[in-house]
Structure 1
Amino acid sequence: MRITMQNIANPAQGKSYYAWLQTDKQAFIPLGELPIHNKNIDFTYPGDNNHSNLIAYTQGIQITLETAGSTPKAPSNNIAYQANFAVTTLAEIKNILYATPDLPQKSSVVVNMFDAIKSMNDKATSVVDSIQQTKDYNLARRQSTRLIEIIDGTQYARESGDLPAALPPQLNSPIGLLSSPNQQGYLDILDKHLDNLKTAAGNNANLLQRIQNAKNGLQDLRGWLQQMRQNDVQLLKTNNLASNNNLSAALQLKQLAAYAYTGRTIPPDTAPKPTPGSAGALQTYVEVQYMAALDLQAVK
């Protein structure tokens, strides 16, 4: 957890700002003393010893004035700043960032999506290296098999014929990035929960913009993943990975995977943005993380 504040007045002599995490059980967890540098605070809480996902039980943040150098066990009534999640949106934010009901073991859909696309980027690079440099065509087929399993899910990749019967599965992925007739993919699961959050957001302009930015990324990802599927299926079904045509397909696959992972820079921009045609998994992930940001307000 990171706390950043600007133009903060220095506390009275002998006092310091202390941060507290307010849990959904109305308990307070001490985060630590907040040092001020040039009227600014930039504080990072490394987490607890169990590496808990803080969003699982966070209701809000309080900053109080306490005796400098002390280690208070509970916050005083001298509250300087505070912020709380809206009750209407907190449950859906937790569904997206902590435990998604649609997924096995209630893992986070946005984390699973991001990890899958990061893995795809590595495998697409390996496919090109195996064809172009090491000539290890068996490894190239195994990596191409893993890619189609990540995109389709293993069962649908086999049923659809995208994964030829002669090639054994490598991952046994129960859920793909894209949806199949009998299983929603990670992109559509995330999109559904973004729609739910949008309904609950009311007139929260910042949250609505984050939702739209994330949806921009999902739309781009659908297009790039469909193209990746076409190129990957070509590689899976060929008998000659050494041909120039298939090398070209592999190079395109690698480029599409890079777009899907880190986004695409559209000149005159110098880096990808969470806008249509530019946003990839990284931009989507960041925008979703910002949905859990809280705006600290001074208590008068």
Structure 2
Amino acid sequence: APKRSAPDLPALVPVELPSAVLPRKRRRGLFIALIALLIVVLIGSGVGTYFVFFPRGHTTGNTPPAIPIVGHTFFISSGLISTNPESNQGITDQLQVNMEKIPPPQSGQSYYAWLLSVSQADWKPISLGKLAFNPDGTASLTYAGDAEHTDLLANNSRFLITEEDAGTPPPSPSLDQSTWRYYAEFSQKPGLQDPKKYSLYDHIQHLLAADPKLKDAGLNGGLDIWLFRNTEKIVEWSGSARDAWNSKSAAGADLIRRQLSRILAYLDGTIYYHIELPGESLRVDPTIAKVALLEFDVEKQDPPGYLYHIGTRHLHALIQLPDASPDQKELAVRISKAIDNVNVWLQTVHNDALKLFKMTNGQLFGDDGRLLLDELATQANYAFVGQINPYTSQVKEGVVQVHYNIQRLATFEIRECTSSHPCAL
């Protein structure tokens, strides 16, 4: 088997596994209970995360205190995601705008929100609609996206609110700068310490919308959605392999090995899959399997594995950018820790799958095979939904939390247009 190395990542401490596995029925009941509790924790944390990472009135170290943040706009994925690897439909295709403590628009006027492209020469503003203003000085807007569920992050890095005629919604933002009220953008300044010279917008775009390495491999969309999709499939296949143990038949053994080979294909990528299982057929979409979840050789593996690519190539570089806000940097550190958790769990899944694949039918249906299949499914579930401590209700985060926290990185911090903070079109 190829030697794994990741010198740029923190040393990983193996997860201590229980010395015994509960009987199947009892274990499954406990697992369902833990998942239910985890969902409750996730819902609670999801509601609070906006306020934890984007508190009211918070200002970044790169912005003069005289220009406070008056709102946030964040991207949402509708979940109507195409199964076609060449499609990025349903990814960051919606927007939510929340404004706080702003004055009401003048009589006969309304606030209008716009999403603006990265290039000033390519003027294609997207009308998000009219903000609903409330007497308490808050305003909000939910943009549900277009009929094609187009990825809004793919070509847009700026956000603008104008104050214009309430009776006649404008088709595009007025060029009269006196109507420009609030503005935000993802910086496109290159990172000077980054060999790739990626900007904040580049990192966010590669994580969520479109990554050049993935595009070269024939995969549309960002790194995050493929990490989510592929880990979810590993959970499905590991559960199927474990359940097939009950048959204790030649057909059951064949099904187990097919599912194990699929798991290894996604973990290894096509190149390392054929090294570990020489002569074994590839039973997954070869395009999807071009990119591994795990990292084998940080110098030669191209494209890099999803976990390494997200954690080391992007998050580590993002926190060094002066244009990244303290909130974004704090969130990046949290995501990086979760990536390390997932790496440990999926390494265990890999090792278990390889051992199981090489077992004889007799070994596979013996106690050793049953215990390894149980561990395989358990570790795969941890990698996807995280691991909850039933005594403290604390969650050791997995891919689900990584997925939603990466989306939160793509949050505009909205400020008033002033002479020291001009709204630039």
For this structure pair, what is the TM-score category when the shorter chain's length is used for normalisation?
0.7 to 0.9
The match for 1:266 is 389
Runs (5+) with no aligned partner, structure 2: 1-94, 190-199, 419-425
Kindly indicate whether structure 1 or structure 2 has the higher relative contact order, using CA contacts under 8 Å at least 6 residues apart.
Answer: 2
CA distance in 1, matches of 2:245, 2:133: 55
1:188 to 308, 329, 332: 308
Q: Are the aligned partners of 1:164 and 1:236 in contact in 2 as well (CA < 8 Å)? A: no
The match for 2:281 is 168
Q: Are the aligned partners of 1:132 and 1:247 in contact in 2 as well (CA < 8 Å)? A: no
The 5-angstrom pairing of residues 212-251 of structure 1 reads 212-240=333-361, 241-251=364-374
> What is the CA distance between 1:61 and its match in structure 2?
0.9
The match for 1:291 is 409
CA distance in 2, matches of 1:215, 1:255: 22
Distance 1:133 1:14, change over 3 A: farther
Identical positions, percent: 27
The match for 1:275 is none
1:143 to 259, 269, 282: 259
CA distance in 1, matches of 2:333, 2:247: 41
Distance 1:266 1:38, change over 3 A: farther
CA distance in 2, matches of 1:72, 1:164: 62
Measured against aligned partners, the alpha-carbon deviations of 1:17-64 in whole angstroms (never above 9, x if no partner) come to: 211112123332211111235644442212234432211221211112
Q: Are the aligned partners of 1:178 and 1:185 in contact in 2 as well (CA < 8 Å)? A: yes
CA distance in 1, matches of 2:167, 2:261: 58
Runs (5+) with no aligned partner, structure 1: 273-277
Give the letter aligned to residue 267 of structure 2.
Answer: I
The 5-angstrom pairing of residues 10-21 of structure 1 reads 10-21=104-115
Give the letter aligned to residue 73 of structure 1.
Answer: P
Range with greater deviation from structure 2 (211-220 or 64-73)? 64-73
CA distance in 2, matches of 1:199, 1:267: 36
1:117 aligns with 2:231: yes
CA RMSD of aligned residues (A): 2.4
Give the letter aligned to residue 129 of structure 2.
Answer: G
1:24 to 118, 141, 151: 118
Give the letter aligned to residue 72 of structure 1.
Answer: P
1:255 to 356, 360, 378: 378
| Helix, strand or coil at the partner of 2:212 | coil
Give the letter aligned to residue 30 of structure 1.
Answer: S
User: Which of the two has greater helix per residue?
Assistant: 1
- Deviating beyond 6 angstroms after TM superposition, the runs of 4 or more aligned structure 1 residues are none
2:205 to 78, 94, 102: 94
Measured against aligned partners, the alpha-carbon deviations of 1:245-299 in whole angstroms (never above 9, x if no partner) come to: 2112111111111111111223565463xxxxx1211122222212211111233
CA distance in 2, matches of 1:139, 1:101: 36
Measured against aligned partners, the alpha-carbon deviations of 1:169-190 in whole angstroms (never above 9, x if no partner) come to: 2124222111234422111122
Normalising by structure 1, report the TM-score: 0.87
Normalising by structure 2, report the TM-score: 0.63
| Helix, strand or coil at the partner of 1:83 | strand
> What is the CA distance between 1:213 and its match in structure 2?
1.3
Aligned length: 292
| Helix, strand or coil at the partner of 1:227 | helix
CA distance in 2, matches of 1:101, 1:203: 22
